[in-house]
């Protein structure tokens, strides 16, 4: 159990959470980009995630009982999710956080994949934009990307990382950049296209589907 107990009270009664340090832009795009730490969900971030559910208070009740519980949430209204192999996903993040880049929203890791939370509607627009760029041609090291939007659902990680010293569970997702505010700024299709194309152009080695 986490040392940060989850508080299920309505947001208007909650104290303002202490913000985590803002992510520092990467000095140069690189596959070795590392996210800021610690990656745990604030109370405001939990409100944002729960708002995607049909009955948000049921999600809050689940987390109040067990903050380490993963939850399945629908996409399409509060967020979409772009799913990339881990290595290529980190290259996308390096571009998003490069000087002059737009930054990213929350990001999770799960089973060798990176889940980039994006603005609603991104899952519908991005595939067409990538097709225009001839994404995935044989002469490119650009892996297929999975786009989850309306009608899809994703498993979001627990609110907090596993306690130190506990046995990690490979199947459990974890936050690389956790939700911290009630209305996070999410990249849209154009920003992700920009980052994906530049990540692919900078790639000199083939990327396997496992990341």
H-helix segments, 73-186: 86-96, 122-132
pLDDT, tens digit, 9 for 90 and up, residues 44-61? 999 999 999 999 999 999
pLDDT band (50, 70, 90) for residue 36: low
Question: Considering the chain, what is the average pLDDT of its residues?
Answer: 79
Q: What is the pLDDT of residue 28?
A: 40
pTM (predicted TM-score): 0.77
Cβ 184 vs Cβ 105: under 8 Å: yes
Share of the chain above pLDDT 70, in %: 70
Q: How far apart are the first and last CA of the chain?
A: 30
In this predicted structure, the answer to whether residue 161 has a pLDDT above a threshold of 60 is: yes
pLDDT, tens digit, 9 for 90 and up, residues 68-97? 888 999 999 999 999 999 999 999 999 999
pLDDT band (50, 70, 90) for residue 167: low
Measured between alpha carbons, how far is 173 from 125 in angstroms, rounded to an integer?
26
Q: What is the pLDDT of residue 134?
A: 78
CA distances from 137 to 4, 83, 130, 200, 202 (A): 47, 19, 11, 11, 15
pLDDT band (50, 70, 90) for residue 137: low
Share of the chain above pLDDT 90, in %: 55
């Amino acid at each position: 159990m986490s040392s940060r107990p989850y508080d299920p009270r309505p947001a208007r009664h909650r104290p303002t959470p202490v913000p985590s340090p803002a992510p520092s832009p990467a000095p140069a795009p690189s596959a070795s980009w590392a996210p800021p730490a610690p990656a745990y969900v604030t109370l405001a971030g939990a409100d944002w995630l729960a708002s995607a559910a049909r009955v948000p208070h049921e999600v809050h009740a689940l987390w109040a009982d067990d903050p380490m519980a993963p939850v399945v949430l629908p996409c399409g209204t509060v967020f979409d999710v772009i799913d990339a192999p881990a290595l290529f996903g980190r290259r996308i993040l390096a571009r998003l956080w490069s000087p002059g880049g737009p930054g990213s929203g929350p990001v999770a890791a799960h089973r060798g994949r990176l889940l980039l939370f994006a603005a609603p509607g991104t899952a519908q627009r991005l595939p067409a934009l990538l097709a225009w760029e001839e994404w995935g041609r044989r002469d490119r090291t650009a892996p297929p990307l999975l786009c989850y939007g309306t009608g899809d659902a994703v498993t979001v990680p627990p609110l907090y990382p596993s306690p130190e010293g506990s046995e990690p569970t490979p199947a459990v997702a974890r936050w690389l950049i956790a939700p911290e505010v009630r209305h996070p700024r999410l990249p849209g299709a154009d920003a992700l296209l920009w980052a994906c194309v530049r990540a692919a152009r900078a790639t000199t080695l083939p990327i396997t589907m496992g990341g």
